[in-house]
Amino acid sequence: MTTEDTRTPGDSRDNASAGTRSGSWRELFGAEHITASLVLAGGIAVYAMNTFVTAALLPSTVDDIGGDRYFAWVTTTFMVASVLASMLVARSLASWGAARAYLIAFLLFAAGSVGAALTPNMELLLASRVLQGLGGGLLAGLGYAVIRDALPEHLWTRATGLVSAMWGLGTLLGPTIGGVFAQINFWRGAFWLLAVVAIILGVLSVRGLPRRSAESDDFGRVPVPSLTVLVLAATAFSIAAVVPVGGPTVVALVSGVALLGAFVMVDRRASSPVLPHITYQRGNPLKWFYIVLGILSAAAMAEIFLPKFGQELAGMSPLVAGIFGATVSIGWSVVQLFSASVDSERTRRRLMVLGPVFMTIGLTLFAATLHANAGWIAVIWVVGLLLAGAGVGLAFPHLSVAAMRSTDDPVEGSKAAAGVGTAELIANAISSALVGVLVVVGGPGAAGAMTMGAGLAALGALGVVAITVAIRR
């Protein structure tokens, strides 16, 4: 790897890695790389669809097998297991190679899906969700980490754009698939479908991915203390969304923040940390890339409540409200496909800054117009949400590649790439809980929606500061 390959976006020179060669979408989907591209994209799509398919199915599931008191934990168990598994991606990749790591991840996910399809009660459904989460967490991290092994560097940006776009596609397809199976009173069929898709992709992974990783397998011991503290932090934030508002919520949120701080302290001193050692080095921008990636991911968590607000505040039909709920993902997915085609390093840096700027402006516009009574005001909401999603799409692929290029050390580089998925999963677990808290604290109707929008807009503003610091360094 050359010196130019390891330049960070703060370098004033344009990146010239792989000489002057520029990748293309046609090459990415050409005969040589099509199978690898399908596996990388499919793993993320399966993970993302599963999250929203399950949300759409849950009312029907509870009506069938009971367990209403465990409603929130169906998501919580999946998210916590995903976070835990995602932090083992780099070690799994180095030990098993890309093909076997993907196969194991798909088989775990398929086993959990079959268990969910056959479950007679909620307790076994929760156990199945843990298996799904373990497989899904590996898939989410491998989707970024394997790009380094499976594809040439001049295709990294486009591959990252493709993989990241699958989060938006999953958000679009998930509610639709879940809604169809719920409508025909066959909620178990959705889990059977997920299992079949996972098995097919597992077979493709064996055929289309390298069997050995190019990275060293010297990752040291599994960082149990760091993992334990971080999983506890994710659990605390998840609990904050389900306990009564007031003192219990404050206690859960403070505990989550304190545990995140404890994770940083434990991990930076560990001989074998979860995140690359360079994450904690003064002057290295990797930590800021992770923070901004997490902030941008949080914007999509607004979609948990958007269908509800569309029906309550604008009188939308369930179908229209469902489409309205995917507005952020639509902006994210469409814009990202164009953004990932940018090759100029100077333009990439600008897009990384514009991403959180657009997110902040879009969500501010949404929050500021929620109390308006005009019949056409929903159009303004859509514009604001599309703008926020466009901000995610502008910056996400370039931030991901910047993280991959943050070091020329192969082991640390593999960890840095895997950390992209980990940062996204941790952000989703935390921000989904925070969005729920913001809505409840704001109150019913437009007040809760406004609090949610304003809170996420403030988070976007922090992202602007973070990426500015990263680029200056």
- State pLDDT tens for residues 130-140: 999 999 989 98
Whether 301 and 400 map to the same domain: the answer is yes
More confident residue, 267 or 307: 267
- Supply the pLDDT for residue 2: 36
Mean pLDDT score, 381-397: 93
- Supply the pLDDT for residue 467: 93
Q: Please check the confidence at residue 32 and state whether its pLDDT lies above 50.
A: yes
- Rounded Cα distance between 445 and 454, Å, is 15
Side-chain-side CA neighbours of 71 within 13 Å: the count stands at 15
Q: Please check the confidence at residue 457 and state whether its pLDDT lies above 90.
A: yes
Q: Please check the confidence at residue 4 and state whether its pLDDT lies above 50.
A: no
Whether 308 and 205 map to the same domain: the answer is no
CA distance to 223, 225, 268, per residue, from 272 (Å): 6, 10, 9
**What angle is formed at CA 66 by the lines to CA 65 and CA 69, rounded to 5 degrees?**
145
Query: Lowest mean pLDDT: which of 153-167, 174-188, 193-207, 212-226?
Result: 212-226
Percent of the chain with pLDDT over 90: 28
Q: Rg for the chain (alpha carbons), in Å? A: 21
Query: Lowest mean pLDDT: which of 33-37, 83-87, 120-124, 456-460?
Result: 83-87
Number of domains in the chain: 3
Whether 342 and 262 map to the same domain: the answer is no
- Supply the pLDDT for residue 22: 57
**275 contact partners, CB below 8 Å, separation of at least 6:** 267, 290, 415, 419, 422
**228 contact partners, CB below 8 Å, separation of at least 6:** none
In a domain, 16, yes or no: no
Q: Give the closest residue to 57 by CA, choosing from 41, 40, 75, 44.
A: 75
- pLDDT band at residue 448 using 50, 70 and 90 as cut-offs: confident
Mean pLDDT score, 104-126: 95
Cβ(61)–Cβ(125) below 8 Å? yes
- Supply the pLDDT for residue 466: 92
* Sign of the torsion angle spanned by Cα atoms 229, 232, 238, 241: negative
DSSP percent split of the chain into helix, strand, coil, nearest 5: 80, 0, 20
CA distance to 70, 207, 352, per residue, from 243 (Å): 13, 47, 36
Q: Please check the confidence at residue 152 and state whether its pLDDT lies above 90.
A: no
- pLDDT band at residue 79 using 50, 70 and 90 as cut-offs: confident
Whether 191 and 245 map to the same domain: the answer is no
In a domain, 7, yes or no: no
Whether 254 and 306 map to the same domain: the answer is no
Mean pLDDT score, 434-462: 87
Mean pLDDT score, 51-66: 78
- Supply the pLDDT for residue 219: 54
Whether 244 and 127 map to the same domain: the answer is no
CA distance to 19, 243, 260, 356, per residue, from 236 (Å): 47, 11, 10, 27
In a domain, 276, yes or no: no
Q: Give the closest residue to 229 by CA, choosing from 176, 268, 285.
A: 268
| Residues 150-163: b if buried by 16+ CB within 10 A, e if exposed | bbebbbbbbbbbbb
CA distance to 266, 276, 301, 381, per residue, from 270 (Å): 6, 11, 32, 46
More confident residue, 465 or 156: 465
- Rounded Cα distance between 175 and 178, Å, is 5
- Supply the pLDDT for residue 400: 84
Whether 140 and 238 map to the same domain: the answer is no
**260 contact partners, CB below 8 Å, separation of at least 6:** 230, 233
Query: Lowest mean pLDDT: which of 21-30, 199-208, 360-369, 456-465?
Result: 21-30
Query: Lowest mean pLDDT: which of 156-160, 391-395, 465-469?
Result: 156-160
In a domain, 56, yes or no: yes
pLDDT tens for residues 175-186? 778 777 877 889
Whether 194 and 227 map to the same domain: the answer is no
In a domain, 17, yes or no: no
Q: Please check the confidence at residue 13 and state whether its pLDDT lies above 70.
A: no
Q: Please check the confidence at residue 201 and state whether its pLDDT lies above 60.
A: yes
Whether 452 and 381 map to the same domain: the answer is yes
In a domain, 2, yes or no: no
- pLDDT band at residue 74 using 50, 70 and 90 as cut-offs: confident
Please state whether the predicted TM-score (pTM) of the whole model is above 0.95.
no
Q: Please check the confidence at residue 122 and state whether its pLDDT lies above 60.
A: yes
- pLDDT band at residue 367 using 50, 70 and 90 as cut-offs: very high
pLDDT tens for residues 236-261? 877 776 777 788 888 988 998 999 89
More confident residue, 67 or 59: 67
pLDDT tens for residues 292-339? 998 998 888 887 778 778 878 888 776 677 678 778 888 887 898 788
Q: Please check the confidence at residue 38 and state whether its pLDDT lies above 50.
A: yes
CA distance to 351, 362, 370, 379, 380, per residue, from 374 (Å): 34, 19, 10, 10, 10
Q: Please check the confidence at residue 127 and state whether its pLDDT lies above 60.
A: yes
- pLDDT band at residue 14 using 50, 70 and 90 as cut-offs: very low
- Rounded Cα distance between 208 and 407, Å, is 27
Whether 83 and 231 map to the same domain: the answer is no
Q: The domain that contains 115 carries what CATH number?
A: 1.20.1250.20
- pLDDT band at residue 106 using 50, 70 and 90 as cut-offs: very high
In a domain, 6, yes or no: no
In a domain, 152, yes or no: yes
More confident residue, 449 or 111: 111
- Rounded Cα distance between 44 and 402, Å, is 20
- Supply the pLDDT for residue 71: 64
Percent of the chain with pLDDT over 70: 89
Q: Give the closest residue to 359 by CA, choosing from 285, 467, 260, 212.
A: 467
Q: Please check the confidence at residue 68 and state whether its pLDDT lies above 80.
A: no
Whether 143 and 92 map to the same domain: the answer is yes
pLDDT tens for residues 212-226? 665 545 555 677 888
Domain with 72 in it:
23-214
Whether 295 and 263 map to the same domain: the answer is no
Mean of per-residue pLDDT scores for the chain: 82
- Supply the pLDDT for residue 255: 93
What type of residue is 438? L
